[in-house]
Structure 1
């Protein structure tokens, strides 16, 4: 028995450490869909950190409140108690204008041709964009305590809090911290 522990003990210890990290600290996830374009693309592989404090503009993985079997990647826009408003593509949080520089590439494409070139792979997306008056439709929400307001960066086609409602903290699985696939796009995800 001592010989077995001596030979295999380190292997099982390392295996137990990796298992504990996977269960309690980090989780790999895949982006499924285009709601976070251009920040994250369909098929990319990410690592989420489960112990993170969730802050405004963090990219997170969350279960969708209306379909708990679906895991979505979204950006936190409103924290508990916030008043979030979008008017004419300008975001204000608690009355203060907020710069969403991560949206600039797609806002420019919307201004250029209403995303028709970008959405050439999907006629349904082209139809949505063609009928849109702005890149992000106007809204006003007061975020309840214990809840979060999340949006996809590709606002025209994203299913997010505007569709499925606020997200309870218990549904947020973690903050996206690292992209590891594809290899030529490995990066730390800064929010």
Structure 2
């Protein structure tokens, strides 16, 4: 009888430890770090199709996104809420303009040489669904663009993204393994 009771006690202890470990992992995933697989080429060459990144939520608990940061936000897709990854170009109240393929924030051409393949590739969208430039970023919103400007559906098309939709900062590229690096 003693052996059966010991087995039950060990099983209960193991179950408690397992449940605690699962809860800790869930809390970690929901509030500290998440994993994203990149499905599109909108951030090439910084982040390529099928790359995997870790996103940290910690910075945006105590501050807002800053110029040049890679952010992850929720966007209402055709069938579901999707996570999109883009770079912060404009903050609330900024005036964004695109002239001769270059981006201007508050009438100053921004230097994007560290993440764009070349200058002069940032064109506004044309057609019925697009943002008119110059564009003033609404209060509590951010203007985000992909690094692969010719292939990125971004704020030039969808308009500014509300702060409450931005949930994390792109932190580390973790796959492919030979390209592990901190995202800049």
* TM-score exceeds 0.5: yes
Does structure 2 conserve the Cα–Cα contact (< 8 Å) formed by 1:65 and 1:165?
Answer: no
1:76 aligned to which of 74, 85, 88? 88
In structure 2, the residue matched to 1:13 is 20
Flag the 1:66–1:183 CA change in 2: closer, same or farther, 3 A: closer
Q: Once the 2 structures are TM-superposed, how far is the Cα of residue 23 of structure 1 from its aligned partner? A: 1.4
RCO higher in 1 or 2 (8 Å CA, sep ≥ 6)? 1
SS at match of 1:102: coil
SS at match of 2:84: strand
Does structure 1 conserve the Cα–Cα contact (< 8 Å) formed by 2:102 and 2:123?
Answer: no
1:179 aligned to which of 163, 169, 173? 173
2:139 aligned to which of 131, 145, 149? 145
Q: Gaps spanning 5+ residues in structure 2: where? A: 1-7, 125-132
1:100 aligned to which of 108, 112, 116? 112
In structure 2, the residue matched to 1:86 is 98
Does structure 1 conserve the Cα–Cα contact (< 8 Å) formed by 2:102 and 2:121?
Answer: no
Which entry has the higher C-alpha Rg, 1 or 2? 2
Q: Once the 2 structures are TM-superposed, how far is the Cα of residue 31 of structure 1 from its aligned partner? A: 0.7
Q: TM-score, normalised by structure 1?
A: 0.76
Flag the 1:14–1:156 CA change in 2: closer, same or farther, 3 A: same
For residues 80 and 2 of structure 1, the distance between their equivalents in structure 2, rounded to whole angstroms, comes to 58
Q: TM-score, normalised by structure 2?
A: 0.78
For residues 98 and 58 of structure 2, the distance between their equivalents in structure 1, rounded to whole angstroms, comes to 30
For residues 186 and 35 of structure 1, the distance between their equivalents in structure 2, rounded to whole angstroms, comes to 19
Deviations 1:52-100 (A, max 9, x none): 2311111111223565623211111111111122322433322333211
SS at match of 2:152: coil
SS at match of 2:134: strand
SS at match of 1:158: coil
Equivalenced residue count is 164
Higher helix content, 1 or 2: 1
For residues 57 and 115 of structure 2, the distance between their equivalents in structure 1, rounded to whole angstroms, comes to 26
